[in-house]
Amino acid sequence: MNIRAVIASAAAALALLTAASAPYNAHAVTPSGQLISTHYIAQSKEEAAAAVRSNLKQRITNFDVQMPLDGYSITDIGAHTIYCACEETGIGTEGDYLRFSIKGYKCRAQLNADEISCTISYNVDYYTTAEEEKKLTEEINRLTEELSLDKFSDFSKIYLLYRYVASNTTYSEDISDPYVYTAYSAVMDHHAVCQGITQLLYRLYNDNGITCRIIAGKSRDNSVFPASEGYHVWLMVKLDDKYYLMDPTWDMKFNGDSFHYFLKGSSDLDSDFPFLQHIPQNDNGLSFPDYNSDEFKAKYPAAHTKYHEPSYTLGNINGDSKIDAVDASMILSEYARISGSKISGLTISQSRYADVNHDGVIDAVDASNVLAYYAALSSGAETTLSAFMKSH
């Protein structure tokens, strides 16, 4: 891929800085990307998508891509290339995270002289700057380290991150502020609307090895007449080869104490409050997926009913039917987490069985008891954890 970067003039830069200093309002949006225009020559649609993805991640406002038509119409190829640039990669800053980072864009595709290729000129407006994304990454890395997720099962990771976001974020009151639509606001200011909240969880999940998608559509409240509707986004997450639905925004009202939209199926997502509905649909054009298509449903098959939490026993808090050093490590991580962030990463059932000495506190003593019992089992002992603790 040949790359030619052209730095815009100082006068244009001064004009942008002057415009950016004005207060934001819904009718006067200024570009938030870098004032750099780049031109890429791509030999395939895959190369073109990679070039667009690179520009989007760097928050570059203006860029051109020369690429083969490859069977696409000149009117659709610009939006289709954005769609391909936002394909899922398993990287938290790409995929749906990138798709929902775009406030809006314009593109113009012109047929080249060979009539089998075109040049697409993009002008993209972002919710955040590259510098803000850098700060967000630093904060997310700090948060991930603090939560100590490396020893946790996928279910425990999903639960902990969901609970953390639901407990530490409030719904934004001022929806005219563009930042409330971002993960940046959810982390830095502890408030956001549904788009920012789901964007944050999408990133946290992907950064920690959990596959998920953001689903766009609308919510409907049938408790009033006529029924009220509004734009809404939620998530689907992969667990044990199935995809489950979740809505952290609607669960925030319970402050992380109980969940009504966590790991639900397609038939029971709205079962706790039947008058409220989630309706997936694409109102955003060709750069977004068709969530109701057979192709999307085949690639991301939603479970029919909700996920059932694993069964735990005393000392076995990861649900794998054995007590070992992993359980002890999870107990120690929980102790450190509660001591620091005050946010528990264990479910109610896990917490009950993590407190192995029944003193009402999950701490290093519980972890020590589990490790001692594991060592005894490794040496050939045949006893239960309860019996072992009574004899020691």
Q: Domains in the chain, start-ordered, CATH in brackets?
A: 2-126 (no CATH), 131-299 (3.10.620), 325-391 (no CATH)
Task: Give the integer Cα–Cα distance in Å for 312 and 320.
Answer: 8
Mean pLDDT confidence for 19-43: 46
Whether residue 301 has a cis bond before it, omega within 30° of 0: no
Contact 281, 78 (CB under 8 A): no
Per-residue pLDDT, 238: 98
Selection from 87, 4, 96 nearest residue 42 by Cα: 4
pLDDT digits (tens, 9 = 90+) for 355-373: 999 999 999 999 999 999 9
**Inter-residue contact 354 to 317 (CB < 8 Å):** yes
For the residues 217-238, what does the mean pLDDT come to?
Answer: 95
Encoded tokens for 82: 């954005």
Average pLDDT of span 292-316: 95
Q: Which two tokens stand for residue 363?
A: 């701490």
- Model-level pTM? 0.83
Question: Residue 336 has what pLDDT?
Answer: 85
pLDDT in tens, 50-66: 999 999 999 999 999 99
Query: 94: closest CA among 53, 141, 62, 154?
Result: 53
Q: What is the pLDDT of residue 342?
A: 66
With pLDDT > 90 as the criterion, what percentage of the chain qualifies? Answer: 76
Q: Given this model, what pLDDT does residue 158 score?
A: 96
Q: Which residues does 86 contact at the CB level (< 8 Å), separation at least 6?
A: 53, 56, 94, 95, 96, 98, 99, 287
Per residue in 112-138, pLDDT (tens digit) is: 999 999 999 999 999 999 999 999 999
Mean pLDDT (the chain) is 88
